[in-house]
Structure 1
């Protein structure tokens, strides 16, 4: 019981002081680097992530090793791309290559590694770069074969589809896996909320999580570490149903507390383990009532592994090929597809986010699927704003303003006070409306009386995705660009037409 606590006490201060991004699963941080930081990961992250993962797994935290392996591989790829001074697009590709290599070597599954990088890390499939990612995955697998041998990651039972009447049963297994996936994702978030509510310092949280894991391990040692021993017990058919239920509940709680407390480790492997246990329990019940009509429970455990991964990651293709590459049995494809899609539909319908997306959303990082969105995020307002614009004094009469508008090429005027600070905006629409109402009294009306006071603004440092979101659904064609430190100091304007033109030009440039 003391080992997880001591490990947490050592890990917490080191991670918090040197590299907070090495805390947790690793995969969300890699996705964040792709989406927000143009594929850049700090160089020292590699060594610190390796150390924190070894310490977490060594002390018995209930986490996986694939997340940190992905983080480490991605860090190497990102660092190499930065060293070679590559473009942001190629930094992301090198990062994805490192991620695919990590998964391929970990599970001895090159296709799963390639699809993991394309489906999860790059958010959407990037067909243009699949060949580079595939080469990376194959190379990593060859190296793994040379040093570790070409053995499957788990003990794989012989798959047999006894009857096509089993397909609805695999569908039911997928639905159960989807429900368990939602509970798992929500529980991790709830654990983090409890830590926040208790105001426990971040450096102390792994030790507190270690108390829970150590306490559970006294009664159920299978929860310690990755959990492959328990999963192999299911796949070998050696565990009784009662024991599988016990380990499943214990693993669920221990993993939620380990990840929520900030231990460095992945979520992919625990999802495999819990899915295998769920499938084993489900298959045991079926075999009890209809032993001649259904396959043995290890077979259901194998399919349950993929279904749980599909639900937690919302990456069904990766889940399907991870298990298929372990069996190389085409008969398993139909049950895998049925269970994985069922699990995916449940999570998408009743929750909507993967476990990785959930953790990013909680950090304030917005994930939107689509390569065009990634493109917009890489373009900054400062590169497309115009610094030539017209300002008018708030005390200017409407008559004078009309005369200026007749000579001006600008559809909007920035209204400033005597300190040259923006107090509002006047558009051509405002002028037309006032002229029709005021008539000859227009000389008595001031700009400050017709201007729009609550003006939407943007800063030079923000990206074009943010600008698109501001323009969307609003009848405006121009945004004032203000100083990030002074929201009343206008430094330029951004036109909607310029924004659309920039988007179209860059889309053509990258060949989307």
Structure 2
């Protein structure tokens, strides 16, 4: 790179900001990981006695819950839903107190053995770093969102030593859209953070898989079975998370006592099955080298499947991302074991990794992230096609069972929301909708419609058919673009209208509608009755005026 090119590169502020975000986020995540592992190793090696270990895990839950309830309620749980909420401008990531509570609360809960993951808290730590740097540079709006996204992606990259997966995670899960303007700083930050993690922790994959020699051939039918089973169990797992959330919310006691209860349960079960403790990376490594008897594998799978939602629902600091990978690995192992008994002769290591990706794909509904993350974390590039197939089947199965992405559901259902989100949650569409909205017929001409929009000073119309049923929407800018590019072609509204409509009934809360609009990168929703007749419209601006 020439000096001139380097100077031009460095003059771009977003590049320097993204590097700074990646640097700080990477260091924070590495320190977080080292701290959790150190506490966990000390406790399990020196205090793993029946008369003290349950007390340690109870104390860890107590400390985590106290820090959250006393100083930063937004730091509870995973962190990914709160980051998504903040990107909708319904949360504040710039509170330094939140970062401290997330950091030390996570050490207290995960470090003492709760079967939760560090990746969710890490994402909030990284996103918080991005938000603070954005505040330092006096950024707002889209520019600030770029750094928040870069921080979140770099946290995933540093946590799993997976920069590509970190980037895709931002696009598929957090932003739910592709944007080159966001991709650029996220890529820079993830590479920076991953480089920091590799320099400090070493250049090795997150899971240590044994060498697989020769050609890998797995019956496609087995991949489909893994996908279907993972999809079904993923839906059950998500329902358990919601049930446990509701259970602990209904308990009329102090928040820190709820997390202490979860810690006590973990301590008791952990005495008998220590493999369920913590995020589970070591137990997955042992699984992949066939060092765990099948009976114990089934017990670990069942306990992890039940204890993770239980602890998460209590409100302790910790995520579900890494536990999902572990549970998926165990599901794949069991199905591979059964397949061998039935005479299919499959490699159990490969089925474990396929299950790992498929289960994550089903619960989070992020098949691309799941595929890339597993092969990047394990170095299993030579069976990526099997992983892709299982992830697609798992996602399809979850969709058929009407399962929504877990992190999106957690945003809508979270107990402690920002003050803005609480306001929106208390209001309904009928409070802000524009009634008696003008509609346009699908057979109307573009020129006539554009003239009408200009005369009435509107940018958007619902489109109806001859029976006045809603069938689409039309934007003024879309008509203008078509008229410029297509000249005098006699086009009708039905030729260019948008058929993917965001609709709402008048009793829907504004928080849910705002989330839908944001997730679909849409500015307007049409209010309809049960007969799909137009009652009015609501825009993002209408909702924001409530705040």
> TM-score with structure 1 length normalisation?
0.71
Alignment of 1:439-454 (within 5 A): none
1:200 to partner: Cα distance: 3.1
Name the counterpart of 1:134. Answer: 187
Picking from 510, 525, 534, the partner of 1:474 is 534
Quick one: distance in 2 between partners of 1:40 and 1:14?
17
After TM superposition, give the deviation of residue 234 of structure 1 in Å: 1.3
Taking structure 1 as reference, are residues 172 and 469 closer, same or farther at Cα in structure 2, changes over 3 Å only?
A: same
Match of 2:122 in 1: 69
1:350 is matched with which residue: 401, 422, 425?
401
Q: Does 1:95 align with 2:155?
A: no
What is the distance in 2 between the residues matched to 1:144 and 1:44? 24
Using the alignment, how far apart are the partners of 2:394 and 2:456 within structure 1? Answer: 54
Aligned counterparts, 1:229-378, within 5 A: 229-290=282-343, 293-363=344-414
The more displaced of 23-32 and 213-222 is 213-222
Deviation at residue 204 of structure 1 after TM alignment = 1.7
Superposed counterparts of 1:361-510, under 5 Å:
361-363=412-414, 468-469=524-525, 471=527, 473-475=533-535
Cα deviation for residue 217 of structure 1 reads 1.0
TM-superposed CA distance for 1:127, in Å, is: 3.1
**How far apart are the structure 1 equivalents of 2:151 and 2:183?**
13
Aligned to 2:534, the other structure's residue is in SS state coil
Task: Give the Å deviation of 1:330.
Answer: 3.8
Matched, 1:209 2:255: no
Aligned mates of 2:253, 2:405 — CA distance in 1: 27
Structure 2 partner of 1:381: none
In the alignment, is the contact (CA less than 8 A) between 1:3 and 1:60 conserved in 2? no
Q: Answer whether contact 1:156 1:326 (CA < 8 A) is retained.
A: no
CA deviations on 1:344-401 (whole Å, 9 max, x unpaired) are 11112213312211211213899xxxxxxxxxxxxxxxxx999xxxxxxxxxxxxxxx
In structure 1, distance between residues paired with 2:300 and 2:197: 31
What is the rounded CA distance, in whole Å, between the counterparts of 1:82 and 1:208 in structure 2?
A: 38
Distance 1:478 1:88, change over 3 A: closer
Counterparts of 1:410 and 1:89, CA distance in 2: 30
Shift of 1:160: 6.7
Cα displacement string for residues 473-499 of structure 1 (whole angstroms, at most 9, x for unaligned residues)? 5355899x99x99xxxxxxxxxxxxxx
User: In 1, Cα distance between the equivalents of 2:248 and 2:91?
Assistant: 31
Q: Is the 8 A contact 2:157 2:166 kept in 1?
A: yes
In structure 1, the partner of 2:163 is 110
Deviation (angstroms), 1:139: 0.8
- Structure of larger gyration radius: 1
Distance 1:145 1:112 in 2: 15
Following TM superposition, by how much is the alpha carbon of 1:121 offset from its aligned partner in structure 2, in angstroms? 1.6
The answer for the alignment partner of 2:469 in structure 1 is none
C-alpha distance in structure 2 between counterparts of 1:478 and 1:74, whole Å: 30
Number of aligned pairs? 397
The CA distance in 2 between the partners of 1:320 and 1:8, in whole Å, is 33
Q: For 1:99-131, what per-residue CA distance to the aligned partner results, in whole angstroms no more than 9, with x for missing partners? A: 111111111111011111111122323233212
Q: Deviations over 1:386-423 (max 9, x none)?
A: 9xxxxxxxxxxxxxxxxxxxxxx999xxxxxxxxxxxx
1:32 CA drift (Å) = 0.8
Provide the C-alpha distance between the structure 2 equivalents of 1:385 and 1:350, rounded to a whole number of angstroms: 32
Given candidates 56, 63, 66, the residue that maps to 2:109 is: 56
Q: Does 1:175 align with 2:228?
A: yes
* Deviation larger for 212-221 or 320-329: 320-329
Say if 1:213 and 1:257, in contact at 8 Å, map to a contact too.
no
TM-aligned CA distance change 1:227 to 1:86, over 3 Å: same
* Structure 1 residue 187, shift from structure 2 partner: 0.6
Task: Give, in angstroms, the shift of residue 254 of structure 1.
Answer: 1.4
Mapped partners of 1:463, 1:313: distance in 2: 20
8 A contact 1:38–1:92 mirrored in 2: no
Contact 1:213 1:254 (8 Å CA) reproduced: yes
Aligned to 2:87: 34
Gaps of 5+ in 1: 367-383, 387-408, 412-454, 486-512
RMSD: 3.3
**How many angstroms does 1:91 deviate by?**
1.4
Q: Distance in 2 between the 1:160 and 1:474 partners?
A: 62
1:9 Cα deviation from its structure 2 partner = 1.9
TM-score (norm 2): 0.67
Asked if structure 2 preserves the Cα contact closer than 8 Å seen for 1:216 and 1:254, the reply is: no
Compared with structure 1, are the counterparts of its residues 385 and 177 closer, same or farther at alpha carbon in structure 2 (3 Å cutoff)? Answer: closer
Shift of 1:40: 4.6
Tell me how far apart the structure 2 counterparts of residues 111 and 98 of structure 1 sit (CA, whole Å): 14
Q: CA deviation at 1:36?
A: 3.4
Q: CA deviation at 1:289?
A: 2.7
The 8 Å contact of residues 160 and 331 in structure 1, kept in 2 or not, is answered as: no
Cα distance in 1, alignment partners of residues 354 and 537 from structure 2: 53
Asked if structure 2 preserves the Cα contact closer than 8 Å seen for 1:39 and 1:92, the reply is: no
Structure 2 unaligned regions, length at least 5: 1-53, 418-431, 435-454, 458-505
Counterparts of 2:538 and 2:379, CA distance in 1 = 58
- In structure 1, what is the Cα distance between the partners aligned to 2:206 and 2:233? 24
